[in-house]
Amino acid sequence: MTPLLRVVDLHKSFGELTVLDGISLDVERGQKVSIIGPSGSGKTTLLRCVNYLEKPTSGHIYIDGTLIGEKEVGGRYVHLSDRELAKERADIGFVFQRFNLFPHLTALGNVTIAPQKVLGLTREAAEARGREMLQKVGLGHKIDQYPERLSGGQQQRVAIARALAMQPKLMLFDEATSALDPELIGEVLRVMRQLAEEGSTMVIVTHEIQFAGEVSDRVIFMDHGKIVEEGPPAQVLSNPQLPRTREFLKHIQDR
């Protein structure tokens, strides 16, 4: 069976700077994969390449066997049009570190805009789905609030509901709790944990080592644009094989 996400020999450079240096990775349906590593190791760029917010310099990405961001024409790879790319992105949920809620729309407006404009749902259908998603993240009572009036944790939960409303095949979390005050991290992690238990396929870039250990089927440690070590959390987090991984985990735990 084809993996839900397959990344093949991905490279990404910004000018002279190599950020991703040959990343290959498979994520099976229903799997939770956490990516950890020091800042600048390329984890965020990897995630942004998966839905083509960044164009890879080389390498390929497949979701459910479909090439992302490009297509093969006569043996050559060509970039997709904006419209084709948008269609593919609709299957990939992305949660940003800084939430990026739409400030001119209410919580419900944030959650219903894409189902209406992308999936073509009627307003009623989109709102029914949107309410359901906001309830799921524990914000059923905040549907008419503008993001400005919500705490960081609530904003991030709306952002998760917004991604879920598209019923994506894959959820990507880019340091979803890094911009939050410590006391607000728990509520967001709870929602992510709930999603994990429901069987969503998730790729999570995080600094929350304990959380990664609890929800992940696999943990990937990245450094300098490469996967240094990967395996079940019990191995990578509790009994890392490589000195570089040990050093990083020690550093994180000393914080």
Partner 1 sequence: MTFWQYLEAKGPYLLTTLLGGWPQTAIVAIGSLLFALIFGLAVALVRLSAWRPLRWPAIAYIEFFRGTPALVQLFVIYFGLPDIGLSPTPLQAAIVGLGMNGAAYLAEIYRAGIESIHRGQMEAALALGLTPGKAMQHIVLPQAVRTMLPPITSFAIVLLKDTSIVFSVGVVEIMALARNLVTETLHSAAVYLIAGLLYLCMTIPMSRLAARLERQRQAWQ
Write out the binding residues for partner 1, residues 135-154 only, by CB under 8 A: 146-148
Nearer to partner 1 (CB atom), residue 171 or residue 196: 171
Q: Which stretch binds partner 1 (CB under 8 A): 82-90, 120-128, 197-205, 210-218?
A: 82-90
Residue 228 corresponds to which tokens in the numbers above?
Answer: 């240094």
Among 8, 67, 113, 249, binds partner 1 (CB under 8 A): 113
> Is-contact 136 193, C-beta < 8 A?
no
Q: Which stretch binds partner 1 (CB under 8 A): 112-120, 132-140, 207-215, 220-228?
A: 112-120
Instruction: Determine, following the binding rule CB under 8 A, whether residue 118 of this chain makes contact with partner 1.
Output: yes
End-to-end Cα distance, the chain? 42
Sheet holding 170-174, edge to edge: 92-95, 170-174, 202-205, 32-36, 218-223, 226-231
d(C-alpha 166, C-alpha 112), whole Å: 9
Residue 70 corresponds to which tokens in the numbers above?
Answer: 């490009």
Among 1, 16, 83, 120, binds partner 1 (CB under 8 A): 83
Residue 76 corresponds to which tokens in the numbers above?
Answer: 């050559």
Q: Which residues bind partner 1 (CB under 8 A)?
A: 51, 53, 82-83, 86-87, 89-94, 96, 98, 100-105, 113-114, 117-118, 146-148, 159, 162-163, 166
